[in-house]
A and B are shown apart, each in its own frame.
Chain A
């Protein structure tokens, strides 16, 4: 089945630094990927839709200059949290649609990245 690999699985960074999270579709091409953020005991909140070869579409309230998304190829999207602050500490999850190769309409999720900003 379709597999989405997310890296790193966890990261600790100092306040003010930037962190990059990678999301790769391993056995399929994904023109569209999605980035979510999840705080403890809360549901997934969609941050942005990443489109290959074009600018990402951000949800209302999400700062595009803080959460930089690059979707340079059909198998890789990256989320960079710039000038991270403790309030950015969260669980970040990516998702991609594998078309008929996946299940649930083809949406497959990565395993998530736990970001802790100290």
Chain B
């Protein structure tokens, strides 16, 4: 399983775009990049997943450069409710995979009014 490195914490203000970068230098060919969000006293919640280039859904975008050694989660126009811990995970996911998910330290995002 590829190890990931993220900033421990980030601060932002409401309405701003937030970009959280994750380094995963040892990512394998079959690895996907997945981001989860966790609020206090709750289980993690899936945000977005990608393999290469760019993925966008209704809540975030994920940018992955060609070498895939890093990825950036982009949250547009954050609000106070986006204050949470964000985890970047790298590993094989697919229909036949039941591999375990290993969480790194995560990034604590604090959105201020």
Contact = CB atoms under 8 A, between A and B. Distances in A.
A6 B41 CA distance: 13
Nearest to A51: B98
Secondary structure type dominating chain A contacts: strand
Interface string A19-63: 000000000000110101000000111100100000000000000
Q: Which of B36, B100, B103, B104 has the most CB of A within 10 A?
A: B100
Interface residues of A, number: 29
Contacts of B106: 43
Interface residues of B, number: 24
Best-surrounded residue of A106, A107, A108 (most CB of chain B within 10 A): A107
Interface stretch (B10-18, B74-82, B89-97): B89-97
B93 A93 contact: no
A107 B101 contact: yes
B94 A105 contact: yes
Interface of B: 32, 34, 36, 41-47, 49, 87, 93-95, 97-98, 100-106
